[in-house]
Chain A
């Protein structure tokens, strides 16, 4: 006869989620560094190195997510909590994935980013990175102080709206410029792909909110 003590599984899952967040942090940090360096210098070896670092962190996060999923499938938690965490992980995992989308465009297409748009793009990346940072805090809050989760999710929503507004301004400026249409379309793709990061953050925030509300009776 064997008995699973409830706290054992929780500790395992929690520490692995924290480890996952560390890798995701690293992935986003390297993405931001790579993008800023690209804004400064355009395509170069250092940008590729940072892209590789970001990709490695994203892969490591992916491996950890699979480990956590396996732990959860081994019935460590109540089915309800298990389902909630699995959805949360799936949603979280799209955030580092979105950064890889941006870096792939830079690496594969070498787009020429116009000078007049660089401050906008830099700010857009900053807003999206901040949105992810709040997601990180909200996930930790869910595991430590759930009363804070809602407030943090509201902040994520605000950042996503700011990101949307920035994207619109940047795209309007882009299309008002004299660049050729192919270039405009390529840069618009970069802008949209950066914005996808905060879209993913907002989706995760919605889930976090639901998970927290479900535990209020």
Chain B
């Protein structure tokens, strides 16, 4: 059971990092106090994990078969990859790291299910593209509603503040539902714990990350999103939540960070194409390619060295 510590560590870092994608805007602009956001985010992430997280666990179980030892290595190398990409300041996806590591472990044991893998990779491409489209639709729809309501300055402000809180709670729910499989998926696939234990343990690990260490990331990433403007920030969080929620239903863990980038690009396309930062876009593409590749390399190298010894 001690091997589950690596899963808890991965879940903790996921919670600490990804909470910024759902509540960063609200906290960094100080409209919601950190503790209010952290508690709301952790409660809704746990709720999402427990309520809708099992579909993702099932997908991971079909990717490959592992021993408990391999599950431990997958979780640890994924966490190492996430840490490395974070140090390189690239928009990292925990899902891609975990899947890259799982494929390496599966190839090593010659037990990769290519059908499930194709589904996962298609969804990776679909995440930013889906978020981009959802953001464009939401921007137009919500914009028309706001214009029609002719809200005065204070009501407009209040509507955006409540909207960001509600969208943040929904985003936290989708985060828990979608990403819990990254945390305990390999251990459920190895048979060490049941799916029910998997969603509870993963959900609690994410919640712990949100509560204990999400503040600095929220302040950094949140201010980046707020630069758009409050209305666009609301659309970004809502589009990210809808997209990630859809993938939670399909049962494929995807990256909330990449959904955010897709949504920001969608708004950039609607407002002014020149506002799109091509360097950021390049970084996203690099992270797309390198995250699973690095996790794959770490895991394969570890297993190869272990076998050689």
Interface positions of A (Cβ within 8 A of B)? 1-4, 6-7, 10-11, 13-14, 75, 77-81, 84-85, 142-147, 211, 214-217
Contacts and interface: CB of A to CB of B under 8 A. Distances in A.
B117 interface: no
Contacts of A1: 33, 35-36, 39
Contacts of B229: 80, 214
Interface string B15-32: 000000000000001111
A209 to B, nearest CB: 13
B2 interface: no
Contact of B161 (A6, A13, A143, A145): A6
Given A1-B36, A78-B29, A80-B229, A6 B158 contact: yes
B303 to A, nearest CB: 46
A6 B157 contact: yes
Given A6-B161, A217-B143, A217-B147, A142 B33 contact: no
A6 B29 CA distance: 13
User: What size tier do the contact residues of chain B reach?
Assistant: 20 to 34
Contact of B36 (A3, A11, A80, A81): A3
Contacts of A4: 31-33
Contacts of A7: 154, 158
Interface of B: 29-33, 35-36, 39, 139, 142-144, 146-147, 150-158, 160-162, 226, 229-231
A2 B230 contact: no
Given A1-B35, A1-B39, A2-B33, A10 B150 contact: no
Interface of A is mostly: helix
20 contacts: A1-B33, A1-B35, A3-B32, A3-B33, A4-B31, A6-B158, A7-B154, A77-B157, A78-B160, A78-B161, A79-B29, A80-B230, A81-B156, A84-B153, A142-B152, A143-B154, A146-B150, A146-B151, A146-B156, A217-B147
Contact of A78 (B31, B142, B144): B31
Contact of B157 (A10, A145, A216): A10
Contact of B153 (A6, A215, A217): A215
A144 B155 CA distance: 9
A211 B161 contact: no
B150 A147 contact: yes
Given A4-B32, A84-B153, 4 more contacts: A80-B229, A143-B154, A145-B150, A146-B156
B230 A146 contact: no
Contacts of A11: 154
A30 to B, nearest CB: 29
Contacts of B160: 78
B156 to A, nearest CB: 5
B152 A145 contact: yes
Contact of B152 (A3, A77, A144): A144
A13 B161 CA distance: 16
A3 B147 CA distance: 28
B15 to A, nearest CB: 19
A130 B182 CA distance: 66
Contacts of A10: 154-155, 157-158
